Amino acid sequence: MAEKTRKAGLLLRLLAKSIDLGVFLVMAKLVPQAGVLMGSVYMLISDGLFDGRSVGKKLVELYVVDAEGRPCTIRQSVLRNSLIAGACALTLVPVAGWLLALAVFAFEGLLLFGNAEGKRLGDDFAGTQVVEGRTGVATPEERDI
């Protein structure tokens, strides 16, 4: 990889995640019970879409990459977002589910805030990191395709 990776800023990551949660909420409202499950599946695979970007990350120019700078795969996205998708699915349970979901988001946020590399628990599971712009993202020639 030619360039050094530049970890994504906290504000941009929060904005991207807010957009993705908005996608989840739209799905949940369109088809109440099935929409929550569809939205949870979106949260699972979202970072493996669009060359390592969810809809939110695409809009704010963030990328999820592995240690070699390759874009996040669907498998890595499932690994890194399992806890988040589970929290989204918990919203089907009135009150207690929402409280548990908020606790999961708070826990992941605290980990993200306190980690020098800008990694949350899901990033550790999947061996990924969120970076800004194209900095640190391997070009097609650099990828092992």
Of 15, 10, 6, the C-alpha closest to 114 is 10
Residues 18, 120 contacting (CB under 8 angstroms): no
Q: What is the mean pLDDT of the chain?
A: 82
The reported pLDDT for the residue numbered 113 is 76
The model's pLDDT over 47-72, given as tens digits with 9 standing for 90+, comes to 988 888 999 999 999 999 998 889 99
The reported pLDDT for the residue numbered 138 is 54
Q: What is the mean pLDDT of residues 112-124?
A: 81
* CB neighbour list of residue 45: distance below 8 Å, 6 or more residues apart: 74, 77, 78, 81
Sign of the alpha-carbon torsion through 125, 74, 22, 136: positive
